[in-house]
Amino acid sequence: MAIHYILRAVIILLGILHKTEGAGHTWSYEGTNGPSFWKTNYPICNQQTQSPIDLPPIASMTYDSNLDPFTLHAFDKPGSMYNLTMLNNGHTVKVNVENGASVMVSGGGLAHSTYKVAQFHFHWGSNDTRGSEHTYNGLSYPMELHIVTYDSRYVSLGEAVDKNSGLAVLGFFFEINDDANCNYSPLVDAMTNVEYYGGNNFKMSGFKLRHLMPMMFGNYFRYDGSLTTPPCYESVQWTVFWQKIPISTAQMEKFRKLYTDSSKAHSISNNYRPVQALNDRTVTTNMKLPETTSSSSELFSNISALVFVSVFTIFKRWF
């Protein structure tokens, strides 16, 4: 009887280990553990619906009227309400959300009704010309934010991570701005507490999740894909937003001053996976392009109005 229980415990433990990121194998973004070798230890990374992808131009995407606006739940509460813990995991800076509270997203045409926020993290480049995981029409951005959420019907991220549509990740591109983004200052300043992998974690008590996102976030792309790190489970409904987050070059530099080691020999940067083949997937959007004919006739009527006003003004001056 006792052996039966021990065996069960071992099987459960093996299951947990199997799902744990890394699961005993090291992986990285360069060299012999780099993205093209992930498939050796993580065969799912070699499957057909992987992420990230190069998003095609809006004009060639499919419009989907089911992609309604997102609703955010409790994003405006301070971090102390849901225990935000920042850490350096050697691959990125990640902030875990202890979600006994109901920090959730709904709407957005997601497969199930509510998705709980589990963590957020970033992917960035060694300079401002690269760093995002997704690209748009071949264009890279300096950084990409991922807010990782899981179907609230599961008890945890770990439970949902390999289930069909178990996860919904919200992705945001950054763009360089002359001024610092004040909303990001508390986060960027806190990163000095997690400078290297294996060091301290840091509680972000005052930070609000809403401050991560741009003011407007109504326009987005949707496709089915995967985790962008091993074990690359194909469980993610991806949302990549059209509205970008502004950030200054000085703020970007603070991300590049995070390290994989306490001796600070290796900084974390270019921690993005190259784009994967779209294969037979479709990227949909809730953005509707105006039809060419109506926009050209609108343009014509605008020009006519302008000519009329100009002529009228000249006429008035002369007479």
Positions marked active-site: 91
Q: Which of 127, 75, 133, 134 is nearest to 101 (CA)?
A: 75
Please give the Cα distance from 186 to 191 (Å, whole number): 9
Please give the Cα distance from 28 to 24 (Å, whole number): 13
Tell me which stretch binds Zn ion (CB under 5 A): 18-26, 29-37, 140-148, 281-289: 140-148
Q: Which of 213, 267, 169 is nearest to 76 (CA)?
A: 213
- Per DSSP bridges, beta strands 245-247 and 167-176 are parallel
- Tell me how far, at minimum, the Cβ of 59 lies from Zn ion, in Å: 27
- Tell me how far, at minimum, the Cβ of 207 lies from Zn ion, in Å: 19
Burial 186-222 (b: 16+ CB within 10 A, else e): ebbebbeebebbeeeebebeebbbebbbbeebeebbb
- Tell me how far, at minimum, the Cβ of 309 lies from Zn ion, in Å: 52
Smaller CB separation from Zn ion, 47 or 58: 47
Smaller CB separation from Zn ion, 134 or 146: 146
Q: Which of 274, 226, 278, 261 is nearest to 55 (CA)?
A: 278
Tell me which stretch binds Zn ion (CB under 5 A): 80-88, 143-151, 178-186, 271-279: 143-151
Q: Which of 271, 250, 251, 249 is nearest to 260 (CA)?
A: 271
Smaller CB separation from Zn ion, 9 or 245: 245
- Tell me how far, at minimum, the Cβ of 268 lies from Zn ion, in Å: 13
Closest-CB residue for Zn ion?
A: 146
Q: How many CA atoms lie within 13 A of 4 on its CB side?
A: 1
DSSP letter, residue 164: T
Smaller CB separation from Zn ion, 113 or 172: 172
Tell me which stretch binds Zn ion (CB under 5 A): 11-19, 101-109, 144-152, 174-182: 144-152
- Tell me how far, at minimum, the Cβ of 284 lies from Zn ion, in Å: 21
Tell me which stretch binds Zn ion (CB under 5 A): 72-80, 138-146, 202-210, 212-220: 138-146
- Tell me how far, at minimum, the Cβ of 141 lies from Zn ion, in Å: 14
Smaller CB separation from Zn ion, 116 or 146: 146
94 binding Zn ion? (CB under 5 A):
no
The residue count for binding Zn ion (CB under 5 A) is 1
146 binding Zn ion? (CB under 5 A):
yes
91 binding Zn ion? (CB under 5 A):
no
Q: Which of 260, 291, 196, 301 is nearest to 28 (CA)?
A: 260
DSSP bridge pairs for 176: 247
3-state secondary structure (DSSP) of residue 45:
helix
Smaller CB separation from Zn ion, 82 or 238: 238
Q: Which residues of the shown chain bind Zn ion in the complex (CB under 5 A)? A: 146
